[in-house]
């Protein structure tokens, strides 16, 4: 492999980090998408990911969704009526150790929290399953709401 091809491969790999997360909801027909497999492209429409929280009634997801994390190259299909577990992490500064579509267990480290005294605390997951949304709080203290759906309601697409 030549130096130029290795550099091009490296640039392709780091450019995917900036692509972000794309979310789709079952509903209005969508144009065929490059991200979704053919079986999903007719039934799902692309939406802003923060709007997924509007589909949660109580602790249940009311519609089918597909979440694709282009940074990780993964997509998950979440069935309707899936149970949602919401975890909040806040502190003077929060550094997340997870991303959307990541699988978390009951004792997995999901964030580091820096307190007002400058101490670093580990924050562990209380939920098991796949992360479908990470919502950032506005203001102080810095914080995130992490939405996790149980693994029995999820199918990995890629």
| pLDDT reading at 64 higher than 80 | yes
The number of distinct structural domains making up the chain is 1
10-26 pLDDT, tens digit per residue, is 777 666 666 788 899 98
In what order do the strands lie in the sheet containing 120-124? 93-96, 109-114, 120-124
Domain that holds residue 112: 3-156
Q: How far apart are CA 70 and CA 20, in angstroms?
A: 6
CATH of residue 11's domain is 2.40.50.100
- In the chain, what is the straight-line distance between the N-terminal and C-terminal CA atoms, in Å? 27
State the pLDDT confidence band at 139, using cuts at 50, 70 and 90.
confident
Residue 35 has, within 13 A of its CA and on its CB side, a CA count of 22
pLDDT at residue 95, as a whole number: 93
pLDDT at residue 39, as a whole number: 61
Among 131, 125, 129, residue whose Cα is nearest residue 151? 129
Report the run of H or E that residue 13 belongs to, with start and end: helix 3-15
pLDDT at residue 38, as a whole number: 61
pLDDT at residue 15, as a whole number: 66
109-138 pLDDT, tens digit per residue, is 999 999 889 899 999 999 999 999 999 988
Q: What does the pLDDT average to over 23-51?
A: 71
Top pLDDT among 113 and 44 is at 113
Q: How far apart are CA 123 and CA 114, in angstroms?
A: 10
| pLDDT reading at 32 higher than 60 | no
Q: How far apart are CA 95 and CA 119, in angstroms?
A: 13
């Amino acid at each position: 492999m030549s130096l130029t091809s290795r550099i091009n491969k490296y640039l392709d790999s780091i450019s995917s980090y900036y692509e972000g997360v794309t979310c789709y909801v079952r509903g209005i027909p969508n144009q065929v998408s490059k991200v979704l497999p053919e079986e999903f492209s007719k039934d799902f429409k692309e939406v802003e990911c923060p709007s997924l929280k509007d589909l949660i009634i109580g602790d249940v997801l009311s519609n089918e969704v597909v979440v694709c994390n282009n940074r990780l190259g993964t997509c998950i299909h979440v069935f309707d009526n899936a149970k949602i577990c919401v975890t909040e992490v806040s502190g003077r500064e929060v550094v997340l150790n997870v991303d959307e579509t990541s699988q978390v267990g009951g004792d997995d480290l999901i964030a580091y929290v820096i307190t007002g005294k400058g101490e670093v605390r580990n924050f562990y997951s209380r939920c098991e399953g796949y992360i479908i949304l990470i919502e950032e709080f506005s203001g102080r203290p810095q914080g995130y709401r992490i939405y996790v759906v149980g693994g029995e309601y999820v199918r990995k697409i890629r």
